[in-house]
Amino acid sequence: MTVDTTTDVRGYLRDRPGAPYDGTPIEGPYRGHYRETYVFALPDRPLRCKVHEPRSELFRFDRTCFLSEDRLLLELRGRVSRIPEIVVLDEHVLLQGFIEGRTLGGGLPGALSPRHAGQLAVLFGELAALDAGSIGARRHCDPAGHPADGDAGAFLDGLITFTEQQVHRRHHDRFGSLFRELGVGEGALDAMRSRAGRLTGRPFSLLHGDLHRLNLIVDAADDLWTIDWELSMIGDPLYDLATHLHLMRYPAGQARRIARLWAAAVEGVRPECAKGWRGDLEILLAYKRLQSVYTDVIRGAIALEQPGPGPAPVRLPVTAHRVREVLARARVPLGLASLPSPREVMGAYDRWLRGVTASAS
């Protein structure tokens, strides 16, 4: 269920036949990249639920696949462990259960207990077992435009095209000068596309698409739950591992351990889905590093434009540090001979902000 305002939620709860509404407060908003989340208790159930409201003022940097996250989760019930419960109020209204606990974002950076690593491996195996034909939830895209099942190169090529067209080119007029000053040239994505053609073919499966710390919840029993399935898609199963490793920023030893757990879990259910994973993982990681450059450079600029804790010049050093770190991680796929210094990154953003201010006056 997607709502426009919390008033819509209260109105729905109040007007439900046979279910008195006692005015239970609605918590929120809890802000994510793309949505604001509101949490409330149903009058006749112990489970707390949540609804999402889109944050329309933000650009979308990721391709979406399924029309409804809630209907996808409903289909995954009993097939994937520890995911949000879906409460079906009627044929048109589904509510998503709120997982009580803490995110892995609250733990030590890089730390993942053996218990949680094992439960993550179970998730990887369960996803790999769901092949392209086993998911009936409706998708945005025309099936005729899907890459052929198992064509990992075409799958990555589609992601590169999305980043190129919907992130870089679409916003080039506004942010092109900033990319140029930071040394991000036009050819990095083309070079990445040529590497995509070398990927090994692997049968497609369901991907979560966004397995980072804030989407992994630890409950009171110390079990790991997976939330926020809005970026799920059908594609190369190795892409989920690459996305997870990129977003988690594990120490090198931990990253190798998680990769081996992924391989063992996938080989245990569909061995062909792990074919060539050792050689191909670095190609997918290189794409994720490039993707982060295009998204995080723009996100940093937008954050400086908007009101925040202190004026933009005070927040500029933090933004510059984050963006320089992203550039450093992508230095090889970007083909950068040298990195801009923190002062140079700050200068690039300062000039961009001055240009925006001047054009608005």
Q: Contact 232/66 with Cβ under 8 angstroms?
A: yes
Per-residue pLDDT reduced to its tens digit, 291-342: 999 999 999 999 999 888 888 889 999 999 999 999 999 999 999 999 999 9
SS3 content of the chain, % helix, strand, coil (to 5): 50, 10, 35
Residue 124 lies in a domain: no
- What contacts 1, CB < 8 A, 6 or more positions away? 51, 70, 93, 94, 95, 96
Q: Measured between alpha carbons, how far is 65 from 233 in angstroms, rounded to an integer? A: 5
Residue 291 lies in a domain: yes
- How many structural domains comprise the chain? 1
Residue 205 lies in a domain: no
Q: Residue range 253-266: average pLDDT? A: 97
Q: Residue range 282-290: average pLDDT? A: 98
pLDDT score recorded for residue 20? 44
Q: How confident is the model at residue 62 (pLDDT cuts 50, 70, 90)?
A: confident
Mean pLDDT is lowest, of 56-65, 192-201, 293-302, for 56-65
pLDDT at 151 over 50: yes
pLDDT score recorded for residue 23? 55
pLDDT at 45 over 80: no
pLDDT score recorded for residue 29? 73
pLDDT score recorded for residue 306? 85
Whole domain around residue 182: which residue ranges? 152-200+276-360
What's 26's DSSP letter?
Answer: P
Q: Measured between alpha carbons, how far is 155 from 271 in angstroms, rounded to an integer? A: 19
Residue 346 lies in a domain: yes
pLDDT score recorded for residue 337? 92
Per-chain mean pLDDT for the chain: 88
Residue 83 lies in a domain: no
**Paired strand residues for 102:** 218
- The amino acid at 91: E
Q: Contact 246/289 with Cβ under 8 angstroms?
A: yes
Per-residue pLDDT reduced to its tens digit, 313-324: 899 999 999 999
List C-alpha distances in Å: 146 to 155, 197, 287, 304.
Answer: 8, 16, 20, 37
Residue 182 lies in a domain: yes
pLDDT score recorded for residue 54? 65
Alpha helix (H) residue ranges in the chain: 6-15, 69-76, 114-129, 152-162, 172-181, 188-196, 237-248, 252-269, 277-305, 312-329, 331-334, 342-360
Residue 185 lies in a domain: yes
The dihedrals phi and psi of 88, each to the nearest 5 degrees, come to -95, 105
Q: How confident is the model at residue 3 (pLDDT cuts 50, 70, 90)?
A: very low
Residue 239 half-sphere exposure toward CB, CA atoms < 13 A: 32
pLDDT at 63 over 50: yes
Residue 293 lies in a domain: yes
